[in-house]
Chain A
Amino acid sequence: MIELVNFYLIPGLVLGAIYALAAAGLSLAYGVLRFANFAHGELMTWGGYAALVAVVALGISPWVALPIAIAATIPVALAADRAFYAPLRRAQPAVLLISSFGVALMIRAVVYLVWGPTPQGYARGFTPPLVFEGIRIQQRHLMILAGTAIAALLVHLLLSRSRAGRAMRAMADDPDLARVTGVPVAGVIRLTWCVAAALAAVAGVFLAVDTELTPLLGFNVLLAAFAAAILGGIGRPWGAALGGLILGVVEELSTYPLIGGAPLLEPAYKGGVAFAVLVLVLIFRPQGLFKGMG
């Protein structure tokens, strides 16, 4: 039982927290801008590498480098919006989706050009896991869980308490109504990109801390992030976060040797869990757990 917690549940929650951050940003951008941003994975990767630069240059830990990663990722999202998405705002969402696909490749190419294809890590010394009553948790895992909770709280405060957050939700609910009632649309869109990019950067750094940095870091979890966002109800950041947690835990538990010592699912197929969840949601509850946008 303790093995289930240590080797499946805790890693599942950690992975779920990372998915939650990624999916919340994706869902938020979807809600306001109404297209699936395929460059979200690359924003995560960008944040991860930006933190690497700070870690190497300043000799700080990746946790301290988080603000730098965020500050380096936001301009990328804003620039992509300004140069490519804004002129297409009136086009169909499909065209924006294709455009974001092109942006994803451009960011990926720059990452390859600057940092090369070899996997890298934020070199850190060995830290022993913390043990409470037989439950072992890596310090970095604890940090990821705590960091995710803080990020969730901040986003929640922004969306529920601030004027800007209310404007964002108004845009997501009914863009035309928001426009005629004087919501500053351009400002709300910029703010949305800032929050989405910040969440992506944090998710990217956390994922790189938990695994390693590669140019495909974020792209490899894009499908999971979409699955989590749709599971939670697309356009609903809180739903996306919950969807991410569920997906992370399910993915880790899928390889648990429940029956006769054989894993439920061959570990090689773990990457397929997100797809299976996506298909099940699309069949049985396409609007997601919390009713997403129609």
Chain B
Amino acid sequence: MENALLYAVTLLTLAGIYAALTLGLNLQWGLTGLMNFGALGFVAVGAYTSALLTATPAPGAAHLVGPGWPWWAAWPLAAVAGALLALPIGAISLRLRADYLAIATIGIAEIVRLFVRNEDWLTGGPLGVSGIPRPFEGLGQPWGPVAYLLLVAAVVALLYAMAEATAKSPFGRTLRAIRDDEEAAKAVGRNPASFRLQAFVLGAACMGLAGAMLAHFFKFMGPDALDPITATFLVWVMLIAGGSGNNRGAILGAVAIWAIWAATDWIAGQLPGELATRAAYLRLFLIGLALNLILLYRPQGLIGERLPGAR
């Protein structure tokens, strides 16, 4: 019974972290039409920032020994780190064609991956950073993980409230206007490049924060802990499936797709060795197919964008 509870709590915690990521992507793609295919890079930067600021290193650990801050001091800086990574790349590519941002963000993810793998003095290289404290661990099982889940849920609720406020604000209306008709937005005196950059940086901050929550949940962060399929691609599927442009859709998509992903993972795990590996590839195929089918037959997702004022 307790095991089942812990399993459910783990799934929900990860779903919550994905919800934070999807909300960040919704701000970028859903609201503003910016394609970020490098979520992995922003997640990693946030994760490592928080990890290095809080970890109590094992003896002989190669990575930089941080100040051992509490999580609540480190998490905001993880968001800042995600934003700081987004700032230069956004400033360079957002004034150009939309596809250039997509290509540049793939590059960012690649550079971050090369960096964490090779700069052992800072990140511990392939060994990564261990000894990252998980908040509320002192409460023991099962209350520690439950409390962490509540913390993640509270962060997601906060991000949701902020995202909703953003979407309804004049700022959010301007973002949508730029997305839908850049010339018209320009004509009423808005500077699209500057608004896009703000949206891109804010979204990246959400991703950095999600990375921090992930690192503290795993209690470890290393170059192999993150994978482009789960950290970037799955987030896109979640947002498109849930309904891009709609913050509730983003959260719904995150939870629903994560449930499917985890369930298929569990089913694949029941199969004998070789078949289990094959099932994982089949799942990759189906998720690619699902994305395309949604784009073709239900482009608005489960719950589409609702424009403020429209009934």
A97: chain B residues within 8 A (beta carbon): 35, 99, 102
Sorted nearest first, the 5 A-B pairs with minimum C-beta distance are A105-B288, A109-B285, A275-B107, A102-B291, A106-B288
Bound Cα distance from A7 to B117, whole angstroms: 26
B56 at the interface (CB under 8 A from A): no
Q: Which B residues from 282 to 307 make CB contacts under 8 A with A?
A: 282, 284-285, 287-292, 295-296, 299
Report the Cα distance A19→B298, complex, angstroms: 37
CB distance from B292 to the nearest CB of A (A): 4
Indicate the size class of the contact surface on chain A: 35 or more
The number of residue pairs between A and B whose CB atoms lie closer than 8 Å in the complex comes to 117
* B151 at interface by CB-CB < 8 Å: no
Question: A84 — which chain B residues lie within 8 A by C-beta?
Answer: 292, 295-296
- Bound CA span A91–B233, Å: 21
- Contact B102 A36, beta carbon cutoff 8 Å: yes
Contact across chains for A279 and B278 when beta carbons are under 8 A apart: no
Q: List 24 A-B contacts (CB under 8 A).
A: A35-B99, A87-B296, A94-B102, A95-B299, A97-B102, A101-B236, A102-B292, A102-B295, A104-B288, A105-B233, A105-B287, A105-B288, A106-B289, A109-B281, A109-B282, A112-B281, A113-B285, A227-B103, A266-B118, A269-B114, A272-B111, A278-B107, A279-B107, A282-B100
B14 within 8 A of A: no
B residues in contact with A266, CB < 8 Å: 118
Assembly CA distance A30 to B282 (angstroms): 30
Chain A 73-101 near chain B by CB (<8 Å), digits 1 or 0: 00000000001100110011111011101
Asked if B104 lies at the interface with its beta carbon under 8 angstroms from chain A, I say yes
Is residue B10 contacting chain A, with contact meaning CB distance below 8 A? no
B96 located at the interface, meaning its Cβ lies under 8 Å from any Cβ of chain A in the complex: yes
CA distance A201 to B188 in the complex (A): 48
Q: How far is the CB of A115 from chain B (nearest CB, A)?
A: 11
Size category of the B interface is 35 or more
Contact B107 A223 (CB under 8 A): yes
The residues of B that contact A98 with a CB separation of less than 8 Å are: 35, 236, 240, 291, 295
Chain B residues within CB distance 8 Å of chain A: 33, 35, 37, 89, 92-93, 96-100, 102-104, 106-108, 110-111, 114, 117-118, 229, 233, 236, 240, 278, 281-282, 284-285, 287-292, 295-296, 299
Q: Which one, A88, A93, A110, A272, contacts B114 given CB within 8 A?
A: A272
Q: Which residue of B33, B93, B240, B296 contacts A282 across the interface (Cβ within 8 Å)?
A: B93
Q: With A36-B102, A278-B107, A282-B100 known to touch, is A109 a contact of B284 (CB < 8 Å)?
A: yes
Residues of B within 8 A of A88 (CB): 295-296
Q: Is the CB of A223 within 8 A of B106?
A: yes
Chain B residues in 8 Å Cβ range of A87: 296
| Nearest neighbor of B279 in chain A, beta-carbon distance | A113
Chain B neighbourhood of A223, CB < 8 A: 103, 106-107, 110
A93-B99, A109-B284, A282-B92 given as contacts; is B233 within 8 A of A101 (CB)? Answer: yes
Question: Do A36 and B281 touch across chains, with their CB atoms under 8 A apart?
Answer: no
Q: Which residues of A contact B (CB under 8 A)?
A: 35-36, 38, 83-84, 87-88, 91-95, 97-99, 101-106, 108-110, 112-113, 222-223, 226-227, 230, 234, 266, 268-269, 271-272, 274-275, 278-279, 282-283, 286
Besides A97-B35, A105-B291, A279-B104, 9 new A-B residue pairs in contact (Cβ under 8 A), listed by A number: A94-B35, A98-B291, A102-B288, A112-B281, A226-B103, A275-B108, A278-B107, A279-B107, A282-B104
Residues of chain A lying within 8 A (CB to CB) of residue B111: 272, 275
Chain A nearest CB from B119 CB (Å) reads: 10
Across-interface contacts of A83 in B (CB, < 8 A): 292
Query: With A35-B99, A93-B99, A230-B100 known to touch, is A102 a contact of B107 (CB < 8 Å)?
Result: no
Chain B: minimal CB distance from A230 (Å) = 7
A222–B295 CB distance below 8 A: no
Contact across chains for A269 and B118 when beta carbons are under 8 A apart: yes
B3: shortest Cβ distance to chain A, in Å? Answer: 32
**Cα distance, A293 to B285, chains bound together (Å):** 34
| B117 engages A268 (CB within 8 Å) | yes
**In the assembly, what is the distance between CA of A230 and CA of B104, in Å?**
11
A41 to B219, CA, bound (A): 35
Least distance between A126 CB and chain B CB atoms (Å): 32
When distances are taken between beta carbons in the complex, the residues of chain B under 8 Å from A113 are 278, 281-282, 285
Give bound CA distance, A87 to B294, whole Å: 12
Partner of A102, one of B37, B278, B289, B299: B289
Bound complex: CA A274 to CA B282 (Å): 32
Residue of B nearest to A39 (CB): B288
Report the Cα distance A103→B281, complex, angstroms. Answer: 14
Complex Cα spacing A283 to B287, Å? 36
Closest residue of B by beta carbon distance from A229: B103
Which B residues lie within 8 Å of A94 (CB)? 33, 35, 98-99, 102
Q: In the bound complex, what is the Cα–Cα distance between A10 and B290 (angstroms)?
A: 44
Contact A36 B291 (CB under 8 A): no
Q: Kindly state the separation between the CA atoms of A129 and B108 in the bound complex, as whole angstroms.
A: 38
Q: Which residues of A contact B37 (CB under 8 A)?
A: 38, 101
Q: Which of B93, B104, B278, B292 has the most CB of A within 10 A?
A: B292
Q: How far is the CA of A223 from the CA of B102 in the complex (A)?
A: 10
Chain A positions within 8 Å of B284 at CB level: 105-106, 108-109, 112
Give Cα distance in the complex from A32 to B37, angstroms.
23
| Cα separation A197 to B287 with both chains bound (whole Å) | 24
